[in-house]
Structure 1
Amino acid sequence: MIITRKWLEQFLNLKDISNDQISVALNSLGFEVEQTTDFNALNSELLVGYVEESVKVPDTHLKSNKIKINKNKTLDIICGAENIDKDQYVIVAPVGSTISNGLTLTERQIRGHLSQGMVCALNEIGIPTSSLTEFESKNIYNINLDNIDLNSRSTQSAKQFINLDDYIWEVDLTLNRSDCLASFQLLKEIANYFNLEINNLNNNFNNFEKNDSKLTIKVNEDIKDLVKTIAFSEYQLNDLVKLNSKDDIWLKLNNTKTSDSIIENLALKTAIQTAQALIVIDKDKLLKNNNLELKEITREDNSKVLALTVKNELVNIIGLEVEDKFRVDNNTKNIIVLMLNIDTVTMRNQQKTLNTSTIQLQRYIKPINPNLFELANLTFANELEKYNLIQKATQVIEVKKTFINNTRFDVKLQKINDLLGVNLTVEQIKSLFKTLDFNVIVEDDNLTFDIDVNRVDIYSVNDICEEIARLYGYDNIVEQPINFKTIQKTKNIDLKLENKLINYLIGLGFNNTKTYSLENFESTSHWNLFDIKDLITLEKPLSKLRDTYRTNLSKSLIDVAIYNSVNNNKQLKLFEIADIYAFNNFKQRNLVFLTTSNIYQDNLSDNQINADFYYNKSILEAIFKLHNLDLNKLDYQVNNDVIDEIHPFINATIKYDDQLLGFIYRLNPGWEKSKKIDKTIVVEINLDKLNQVSNKQIQIKELSKFQSSKRDFSIELNNDIKYSDVIKKILDGANYITNVEVIDQYIDEKLEQSNKKSLTIQITFNSLDHQLTEQEINDQSQVIINNLNNLNITIR
């Protein structure tokens, strides 16, 4: 959401309030200011100019122009824009001025003609190209205002004249504050923070006549439960004029492309201010067809969208512009203004289908007050009245209205103070809601809150308390760290861990598989990954194919995957937990899991994720975390001496403190092809050994209530150096570290030639007793950087 200072100044006296103070206010109120732009600083000097003469330069696309900038001075400027012509007011960058792209204007000779500056297009002086039409991006800007006077001795600044000296805040709204998609809501928040009176907000057009329209709007039965609100009003208009440049620039600063229709532009301005999208239809173009229908239609690409139709002819796809046949134009005299509120999930699906984002769609997809139609109609009327466009305006007809309940809450003062850890009085709390549309009624120590109807995020007394904390200021609440008592207790939890492990894998979509414990002797010996001695072979087996107790689980699970693949079930996620036996009372409990083909596939969107070595590795390390292992002690070693069925390079032996835990590998592509199975990644580990090395001393640790921060470090590491060998040296001396994780590995041709790989390490910082400052985090980051430099490790 974007808010501009010039717009705020229409309603608030900001004389003694700086832009930085407003930024602090927005952040303190729970919004996040993502970016600010000072448009005044982008250009050193811009003047209003009047084109008195415009003559084509022979054999070129250029024009030689005489441009008046005050009573006594005219500039000669060469311009190549196709739309420049005499009798236009334009933006002039004179000689000596510097514009936003860094160009400083000098007096030049162009094709033998003197040029004393430049006539500017908007994208040359800082207006984002995304806010401009293709025509505007290629041509100069024509100023449209009524009070231009260049007959004095002084020049007129274009920056001040059409608000090119504005200051904007790009505000990231939290999920619960979609009401602030209306700039009026942000206006109230800022006014409340600075204790300012809001002026001019109630200078309302009030000459609405009774609406006796014969228009009907039918909702198709299939979607009637999805439509919350339908309302409309009608207007008879005077002769239309062009949108003035101040409104035009304001819309562009709000990342909105304007059109040639002043009605559509003012409808967009209304939507930004109120959060209610308007659908404006030329009434006369309906040709007395008074029966509109809202229904789901199928487009040429077979996608389905909600749309407004008349006699099965498309009028408007909800969220897009009105179809040209029914669209308002400069000759329009009668309009219908339609206001809808539709189920947000449905509209989010519509946005995905349309693959676009418009001012209207941005408001349809968010939960906002469904009954904004009166405010929107009044605001739209005010905007039209500024241009003297209204000949007749009608009241709103409510075709369907959704009523909001639970807008009143009672809460005791003691509950508020206990919950927030403060000691506020009822008068202090009441004063927090000065200009917000909350009505606070105090009766002894009980407070009754009548909620702003636009605040659809407040459902309970706890939400009220959170709102009080936000307005009071989180920084004003004294920090009270939570006290935890730590208890150290040892238990035999192997079975519990195994059950958790099973539930974890099932939750990831793996199928629990049970396979036969007997294999043939040759296969058992060949796949003896754990080098188990004294194999048990049956003296009188029923079949030579089942004569020996297996030495691993991998081969059995791979056979299951092959069988399924042959039967056209290729997308598999399988696991098994079972015991392995040998003579001399040998027993070992193993876990094996594999993924093959696609681990995720969405047929609707045609998105898919293939089986991947690092996906299986991430699952394996999650299992290690469940067993409380220190991942920095893990050692993955490529095994060059593997059986033919295993990929010679994509494999690893997994050790922990030099003790063998298991293996992770991809099957050999040639063998996969011969067995008609897709890419398959297998992991097998010794659960007995895992339980043996796991840290069963479960210690409850105090949780930090403060916000953690993360920093990513990309380093180049020689392939001969193990990550586990250097990570402790890298972190040596750094404090406040709560987690270290490798989040990315990258190898390109240059790195491969130098026997290196690039790792991205993500380090999380936090403290138990205070919120870390940016400086503290930077200091610890510098310690890590110094360690990397001392180890001669390149930082990317």
Structure 2
Amino acid sequence: MKVSKEWLNEWIPVDVSIDELSEKITRGGIEVDEVIDYTEGIKNLVVGYVESVEEHPEADRLKVCRVNTGEETSQIVCGAPNVRADSYVIVSKVGGRLPGGIKIKRAKLRGQVSEGMICSLEELGIPEDYVPKEYQDGIFIFNRDQNIGTDALSALYLDDQVMDFDLTPNRKDALSMAGAAYETRALFGGEVSRPGSPLTEHADNGDGAFSIKNEDADAVPYYGARLVKNVEIKPAPVWMQIRLIKAGIRPINNVVDISNYVLLEFGQPLHMFDRDKIGSDGIVTRFASQDEKMTTLDGKERSLMDSDIVITNGREPIALAGVMGGAFSEVTESTTNVLIESALFNPVSIRKTSNRLNLRSEASARFEKGVSHEFVPEALDRAAYLLEKYAGGRVIGGVVSDGELDLEDSEITVTAEFINSRLGMELSVAEIAESLSRLGLEAKTDGGSLSISVPSRRDDLKIREDITEEVARIYGYDALPSSLPEYSVITPGKLTDEQKKVRIIRHQLEALGLSQAINYALTSREKSKQFTDRTEGLELLMPMSEDHAVLRNSMIPHLIDNAVYNANRQQKDVQLYELGRVFVSRGEGNQPEEIEMLGGILTGEMNRTDWLGASVPADFYAAKGIADSLFEKLGLADNISYRQTEGYEEMHPGRTADIHLGGEKIGFAGELHPKFAEDNDLNRTAVFEINIDRLLDVKNGIIVYEQLSKYPTITRDVALIVERSVTADELIQTVRTAASKYLEDVFVFDVYEGDNVAEGMKSLALRLTYLNKEQTLTDEEIEAVHTPVLKALEENGAEIR
């Protein structure tokens, strides 16, 4: 909500600077997000009168104007297509300044002297989207006579600053000038002066009669309307247009502008119908029929649901209640008779309709929070009066309505003891009542108890705690006493086991040269099916785009996008990791399962040392090595195993392995399929993905340290001929099972396929390390342990070379 100080002063005079005003309002609980100063950077801006306009002799699109600025008449060259003689305009004189640091100097344009500049609203800092259509391609022209030479900012009501309120959802009362005025009164004192509506009701001669019927009181508790005849569609007064512009609304014409103006005054949305286009003498409100059709003001045909509220002429919808009007009943240049709507609608229904159709407006934003009952009839009268005054209309008859307005104040009872106990203060009943009265809340006291009457404009106040908050807010948060907490048991702050492990993971990955990436959790439908066996993802109802339509099932697709992005910018060596969540759909109506995952990608060369000409390729072993280092740091290396897999069509079938913790699969590591990598303009690329939740679930317990052995180790190398399909891990597990004791380590140090090895076979060499921590091993002891190992390998199909 943008609140103009000039407009606010009309409701309640506040003789303080904008800085003090905004600071106190912020301290009172409504954050002023920004202050827009329309005077900043402007100098020597006056109202000018264009006496004559002639074509520029050397340029088709330029005109030479004689402009009276009060003290003198100057020649100004102007390129605006709408400049004309006998008009009042905005002139920046020589020596003047405009926003953006623009200095106005005497100049020659195609041989003609130009002493100043005739300005458009955009050149004064008004965003183009807010400028009235008639002035968007040219200069601003006043629609009434002005005093020549006077300050143009004052004439334009731009000698002003505007506060942009960043409101929390519960403060709907501040979505209007009335609410801003009552808030200012509470903080600074004074009295709020509501604008009057001294309209004249004319007798109905019979041809304007109409009726209202609400078919469902839950959908529309109250619907009121007034008829105004013989209106003239024309621009609204300049002061009204500029106030709308400062509030972030583009002026259209006097009828539409009046409805928007009253909305900003009271927070009560109105709708203006062309009475002659409604198509009947009665308005009927109801819930829409399922799949009922209507065309809204934006020209789109909408398919409605039975939860949408519609305004009808008794047969078909003419407006989507609280959201948008219908196309055939809108006010146009030919409109002469206007029907003004002011109503209450079911907030939940309005919110659902607005969200489903993605139609957000100033009206729906207020209706979905619930409007104040007390302003419904007042806004209706105000709009009728303004149409009478600024559109030449005649108000016919009184208000025609159906339903009831609950204008009774609600009541909350609270004690001073209750408030003081929660604020830590010692306020008297009188002080509490005085603070509440500044908010416009009447409080009746009875001893230490207060009965507070709450008007509908503050129906966000429902319980005693709400009253306590209001007292603290108005009395001043700065006045709340401070005290140190009392500790009976002091516990040191520390990281949880999970937080420690996550820090270990991050530190280890970054120590190995990987950089962290952060991506959206949303991806495309196609990418949600990659690198996973899940074929369905959790889709959004209203995605931002097709690329962000589904919650991700894997971390890898986005990391590939990151690598491609870098490669396209000549960064060929990329090592990235990401910690985040994937989302497993559990069916419609159920919350998805969220799993914390670690993803990584390696492409190009790693650990490159140019002066040595050395580097490590981004292959399966690089990805596996990084994963192994993490498991080692977490103390889980002994429980990890790898098993070759072909379960991912995006991965290389011979260079991909599932990672198992115990007997459970927790991820995979491997190289991208060459075709998939080529399609993404990548060279040889390795990736890995690990379920971090499963790693964090493993509790290591107490770490037990062992003294380093003072006895030597003994190694034995074994060369085996095995089938090509046999994995090194299978052989290692066979060795570990067969070695009853003394086996300290076993690893592969050579793999060979080629000459002197049969087709379909491979030679694989293992190095076994034995150690007795209590004494030096003898050859006899080694043979006693090593012989069963060789026998077990042979029994499992291996041939000892």
TM-score range, shorter chain: 0.5 to 0.7
Q: What whole-Å deviation, never above 9, does each CA across 1:551-579 have from its counterpart, x for those lacking one?
A: xxxxxxxxxxxxxxxxxxx9799xxxxxx
Measured in 1, the distance between the counterparts of 2:600 and 2:117 equals: 65
> Which residue of structure 2 lines up, in the alignment, with residue 187 of structure 1?
181
> Which residue of structure 1 lines up, in the alignment, with residue 699 of structure 2?
690
Measured in 2, the distance between the counterparts of 1:371 and 1:658 equals: 65
Measured in 1, the distance between the counterparts of 2:530 and 2:489 equals: 43
Deviation of the 1:103 alpha carbon: 1.5
Measured in 2, the distance between the counterparts of 1:323 and 1:689 equals: 61
> Which residue of structure 2 lines up, in the alignment, with residue 351 of structure 1?
354
* 1:303–1:353 Cα contact (<8 Å) kept: no
Q: Give the secondary-structure state (helix, strand or coil) at the position aligned to 2:352.
A: helix
* 1:232–1:338 Cα contact (<8 Å) kept: yes
For 1:283-682, what aligned pairs fall within 5 Å after superposition? Answer: 283-286=275-278, 289-296=281-288, 297-298=292-293, 303-304=303-304, 306-310=309-313, 312=315, 315-318=318-321, 322-323=325-326, 325-329=328-332, 332-370=335-373, 372-384=375-387, 387=390, 389-392=392-395, 394-401=397-404, 403=406, 407-486=410-489, 596=534, 600-602=538-540, 605=543, 607-613=549-555, 617-618=579-580, 651=627, 653-655=629-631, 659-660=635-636, 669-670=648-649, 681-682=689-690
For 1:143-162, what aligned pairs fall within 5 Å after superposition? Answer: 143-146=142-145, 148-150=146-148, 155-162=149-156
RMSD: 4.3
> Which residue of structure 2 lines up, in the alignment, with residue 137 of structure 1?
136
Q: 1:314 to 1:274 in 2, by over 3 A?
A: same
Give the partner amino acid of 1:179: D
For 1:266-277, what aligned pairs fall within 5 Å after superposition? Answer: 266-277=258-269
For 1:60-79, what aligned pairs fall within 5 Å after superposition? Answer: 60-70=60-70, 73-79=72-78
> Which residue of structure 2 lines up, in the alignment, with residue 549 of structure 1?
none
> Which residue of structure 1 lines up, in the alignment, with residue 244 of structure 2?
251
For 1:49-68, what aligned pairs fall within 5 Å after superposition? Answer: 49-57=48-56, 60-68=60-68
Measured in 1, the distance between the counterparts of 2:533 and 2:483 equals: 48
Q: Give the secondary-structure state (helix, strand or coil) at the position aligned to 1:360.
A: helix
Measured in 1, the distance between the counterparts of 2:425 and 2:327 equals: 59
1:32 has 2:31 as partner:
yes
* 2:199–2:388 Cα contact (<8 Å) kept: no
Deviation of the 1:460 alpha carbon: 1.0
TM-score, normalisation: structure 1: 0.64
Q: Give the secondary-structure state (helix, strand or coil) at the position aligned to 1:106.
A: coil
* 2:215–2:284 Cα contact (<8 Å) kept: no
Deviation of the 1:448 alpha carbon: 0.7
Measured in 1, the distance between the counterparts of 2:702 and 2:371 equals: 54
Measured in 2, the distance between the counterparts of 1:597 and 1:273 equals: 53
* Stretches of structure 1 lacking an aligned partner (at least 5 in a row): 498-569, 574-593, 621-630, 695-796
Q: Give the secondary-structure state (helix, strand or coil) at the position aligned to 1:52.
A: strand
> Which residue of structure 1 lines up, in the alignment, with residue 229 of structure 2?
236
Number of residue-to-residue matches in the alignment: 576
Measured in 2, the distance between the counterparts of 1:664 and 1:336 equals: 77
Q: Give the secondary-structure state (helix, strand or coil) at the position aligned to 1:46.
A: strand
Deviation of the 1:140 alpha carbon: 1.1
Give the partner amino acid of 1:234: L
Q: 1:677 to 1:354 in 2, by over 3 A?
A: farther
* 1:219–1:294 Cα contact (<8 Å) kept: yes
Q: 1:218 to 1:364 in 2, by over 3 A?
A: same
Q: Give the secondary-structure state (helix, strand or coil) at the position aligned to 1:247.
A: helix
Q: 1:291 to 1:54 in 2, by over 3 A?
A: same
> Which residue of structure 2 lines up, in the alignment, with residue 80 of structure 1?
79
> Which residue of structure 1 lines up, in the alignment, with residue 114 of structure 2?
115
Deviation of the 1:637 alpha carbon: 12
Q: What whole-Å deviation, never above 9, does each CA across 1:722-741 have from its counterpart, x for those lacking one?
A: xxxxxxxxxxxxxxxxxxxx
> Which residue of structure 2 lines up, in the alignment, with residue 13 of structure 1?
13
> Which residue of structure 2 lines up, in the alignment, with residue 215 of structure 1?
210
- Which shows bigger deviation, 398-407 or 18-27? 398-407
* 1:272–1:359 Cα contact (<8 Å) kept: no
Measured in 2, the distance between the counterparts of 1:384 and 1:418 equals: 52
Give the greater-gyration-radius structure (CA).
2
1:125 has 2:118 as partner:
no
Deviation of the 1:652 alpha carbon: 6.0
* 2:105–2:116 Cα contact (<8 Å) kept: yes
Q: Give the secondary-structure state (helix, strand or coil) at the position aligned to 2:538.
A: strand
Give the partner amino acid of 1:50: Y
Q: 1:677 to 1:282 in 2, by over 3 A?
A: farther
Query: Identity of paired residues, percent?
Result: 22
* 1:36–1:167 Cα contact (<8 Å) kept: yes
Q: 1:292 to 1:61 in 2, by over 3 A?
A: farther
Q: Give the secondary-structure state (helix, strand or coil) at the position aligned to 1:408.
A: strand
* Stretches of structure 2 lacking an aligned partner (at least 5 in a row): 295-299, 499-527, 557-576, 583-595, 607-615, 659-666, 669-688, 704-801
Q: Give the secondary-structure state (helix, strand or coil) at the position aligned to 1:276.
A: coil
Measured in 2, the distance between the counterparts of 1:36 and 1:298 equals: 44
Q: 1:612 to 1:453 in 2, by over 3 A?
A: same
Measured in 1, the distance between the counterparts of 2:385 and 2:255 equals: 12
Give the partner amino acid of 1:610: R
Measured in 1, the distance between the counterparts of 2:697 and 2:276 equals: 81
Measured in 1, the distance between the counterparts of 2:649 and 2:394 equals: 80
Measured in 1, the distance between the counterparts of 2:423 and 2:344 equals: 36
* 1:48–1:156 Cα contact (<8 Å) kept: yes
Give the partner amino acid of 2:165: V
Measured in 1, the distance between the counterparts of 2:136 and 2:425 equals: 55
Q: Give the secondary-structure state (helix, strand or coil) at the position aligned to 2:29.
A: coil
Deviation of the 1:619 alpha carbon: 5.9
> Which residue of structure 1 lines up, in the alignment, with residue 775 of structure 2?
none
Deviation of the 1:156 alpha carbon: 1.0
Deviation of the 1:367 alpha carbon: 3.0
Q: Give the secondary-structure state (helix, strand or coil) at the position aligned to 2:456.
A: coil
* 1:37–1:167 Cα contact (<8 Å) kept: yes
Q: Give the secondary-structure state (helix, strand or coil) at the position aligned to 1:139.
A: coil
Give the partner amino acid of 2:84: D
Measured in 2, the distance between the counterparts of 1:671 and 1:38 equals: 57
Q: 1:62 to 1:319 in 2, by over 3 A?
A: farther
Q: 1:434 to 1:458 in 2, by over 3 A?
A: closer
Q: Give the secondary-structure state (helix, strand or coil) at the position aligned to 2:273.
A: strand
Deviation of the 1:208 alpha carbon: 4.9
Q: What whole-Å deviation, never above 9, does each CA across 1:368-399 have from its counterpart, x for those lacking one?
A: 32553112123324534654845335433332
1:174 has 2:150 as partner:
no
Measured in 1, the distance between the counterparts of 2:90 and 2:618 equals: 74
For 1:708-723, what aligned pairs fall within 5 Å after superposition? Answer: none
Deviation of the 1:294 alpha carbon: 4.9
Measured in 2, the distance between the counterparts of 1:42 and 1:400 equals: 53
Q: 1:282 to 1:134 in 2, by over 3 A?
A: closer
Measured in 2, the distance between the counterparts of 1:286 and 1:689 equals: 70
* 2:441–2:454 Cα contact (<8 Å) kept: yes
Deviation of the 1:186 alpha carbon: 0.9
> Which residue of structure 2 lines up, in the alignment, with residue 567 of structure 1?
none
Q: Give the secondary-structure state (helix, strand or coil) at the position aligned to 2:97.
A: coil
Q: Give the secondary-structure state (helix, strand or coil) at the position aligned to 2:353.
A: helix
Measured in 2, the distance between the counterparts of 1:428 and 1:242 equals: 49
Give the partner amino acid of 1:411: V
Q: What whole-Å deviation, never above 9, does each CA across 1:405-450 have from its counterpart, x for those lacking one?
A: 8810111221121122111111111211344331111122211100
